[in-house]
Amino acid sequence: MTWRLLTLIFFLFAGAVVGAVLGVEFNRWAVNDLQTLSSVALGGLVGGLLWFALDSWRLFAYLDWLKSGSLEPPALNAGLWGEIADRTRRRLRNLQTGLRESDQRLDDFLGAIQASPTGVILLDKEGRIEWFNQMSAQHFGLDIQRDLQQFFVNLARDPEVSRYFHVADFTGDIVVMGRASTPTRPVRLSVQVYPYGRGRQLLLSRDVTAVEQAEAMRRDFVANVSHEIRTPLTVMAGFIETMQSLPLSQTEQSRYLDLMGQQADRMQSLVNDLLVLSKLEGSPMPSPYAWCSLEDLLKKVKQDATVLSEHLAGLTGSAHQLAFAPAPAVSVAGSMTEMLSALTNLTHNAVRYTPAGARVDLCAQLLADGRLTIAVSDSGMGIAPEHLPRLTERFYRVDRSRSRETGGTGLGLAIVKHVMQRHGGELRIESQLGKGSCFTLVFPANRVQAIQA
């Protein structure tokens, strides 16, 4: 303001001086000094008008700059308008920097939502789609070019979704079928709406297919365990009641006690397998640096298989032919206990399901790529192709009556598969009806090393 006032005074003074000079020049022919005074006043007025014109030009230059949107101010030099332009420029730069930072934070936030495994949809107060992330597009088959500003209920095409929005009770979620759902591979989505703002709604969707499948597996598992335990308990309770209520001969008592012992052994086997599974699921992964000799491992497996074969031979009168090929001179990294459990389950199955006197083979081979295979094959009745994909399911049996006769629990192959997954390997199953079966364990090369002679 001081500079602006000084420039005004300067222009007025300069105009008055010029007017005075011109008035003195004209007074040579004037009668009195009235014209001189008039010249001074006129000169001051002209100087003021010139100052006003210059100030107005600077003002309009400043306004034109504001309209242009440029951050480079006009050449207003010093003075009030120059200072205003400079301060305005600095303020605009600060605002632009703040806007860029806000835009970056918004992009980061939207990027995080895009990467979220949860589907996110923003709806306006009428229920139209304002924005959605990629996961929700997969859940409901949405297209960014086609479906913005469309009513979500119309696009969902699900009676349960329509009822949910009609009732408008959003305290809980609903579970609906996903757009990618098929009869063989159902997809289940949990959908819940959260009102916010002025009538707007946030819709979240989650794929709960695995959760529901796990819950179904848990229910089936509990039901199977209950059934497997209830059957021998019922048998034992019947025998106990018979022995308590009826006079039995020594021979009959011995027979009933033997049957009760078999049922007790069956329950014990089931409990042991359940404990093994529980331990596998709850324990740390096997160490890749704990090495055990394959030869020592297979010796223990052969001993267990021989004991079982001799026990069955006492019942049938004929022992199995156990053929164990020499083991390669290698060590395997992992849990000796777990690998022994897997191989023991395979050999016991082969012995149980192979007729007395038939052959059971075990062969370990080191492949060219460094992997190790251990194959257990039998000459039993074989398994139909439709059963092969489900053999490793818990409690799945091809023939339940035969499993009861052989004492199987339906958990052996599930344990084998779990052990191999924990060791980074796989279980391969090949079988033909009437020709027998072959179960092969494949260990990765990074868990196999040669033993130096």
Q: Measured at the alpha carbon of residue 256, what is the angle toward residues 253 and 262, in degrees to the nearest 5?
A: 140
Cα dihedral 9/13/19/23 (nearest 10): 140
- Count of other CB atoms within 10 angstroms of residue 173: 16
In 3-state terms, what secondary structure has residue 311?
helix
At residue 30, the pLDDT reads 46
**What is the side-by-side order of every strand in the sheet holding 330-333?**
291-293, 330-333, 448-450
User: Structural domains in the chain?
Assistant: 2-92 (no CATH), 116-207 (3.30.450.20), 216-283 (1.10.287.130), 286-453 (3.30.565.10)
Strand pairing partners for 364? 374
pLDDT (tens place) for every residue of the chain, 453 residues total: 555 566 656 655 666 666 556 555 555 544 455 555 666 666 666 666 676 666 667 666 666 666 666 656 566 555 665 666 666 777 777 777 788 888 788 788 778 888 888 999 999 999 999 999 999 999 999 998 899 999 999 998 889 999 999 998 898 999 999 888 887 788 899 999 999 988 899 999 999 888 887 777 777 777 777 777 777 788 788 878 888 887 878 888 888 788 888 778 778 877 887 788 778 777 788 888 889 999 999 999 988 888 888 877 665 556 677 888 898 999 999 999 899 989 998 988 888 888 877 888 899 999 999 999 999 998 888 888 888 888 887 777 766 555 444 455 678 888 899 899 999 999 999 988 888 899 999 999 999 998 876
**Residue entry with tokens 């996961």:** 135
Give 328's DSSP letter.
P
- What backbone torsions phi and psi does residue 22 show, to the nearest 5 degrees? -70, -35
Give 382's DSSP letter.
-
Q: Which of 2, 189, 204, 150 is nearest to 83 (CA)?
A: 2
- Check if the beta carbon of residue 324 is closer than 8 Å to that of residue 306: no
Torsion sign over Cα 131, 133, 138, 143: positive
Write the CA distances from 155 to 142, 146, 150, 295, integer angstroms: 8, 11, 8, 63
> Which residues, 6 or more positions from 367, have their beta carbon under 8 angstroms from its beta carbon?
373
Cα dihedral 331/335/338/339 (nearest 10): -10
- Check if the beta carbon of residue 140 is closer than 8 Å to that of residue 119: yes
- Check if the beta carbon of residue 139 is closer than 8 Å to that of residue 152: no
Residue 292: left (phi > 0), alpha (psi -120 to 50), or beta? beta
At residue 17, the pLDDT reads 63
* Tally of residues, the chain: 453
- Check if the beta carbon of residue 399 is closer than 8 Å to that of residue 380: no
Question: What is the spatial distance between Cα 121 and Cα 193, in angstroms, rounded to a whole number?
Answer: 9
Which run of H or of E encompasses 92? helix 80-115
Which run of H or of E encompasses 206? strand 200-207
**What's the pTM value of the predicted model, to 2 decimals?**
0.55
Helix/strand/coil (H/E/C) assignment for every residue in 126-181? CCEEEEECHHHHHHHCCCCCCCCCCEHHHHHCCHHHHHHHHHCCCCCCEEEECCCC
- What is the widest separation between alpha-carbon atoms in the chain? 168
The one-letter amino acid at 272: N
Q: Which of 193, 131, 114, 207 is nearest to 161 (CA)?
A: 193
Give the HSE-up count for residue 302: Cα atoms under 13 Å, Cβ half-sphere: 17
Cα dihedral 415/418/422/428 (nearest 10): 100
The one-letter amino acid at 341: S
At residue 403, the pLDDT reads 47
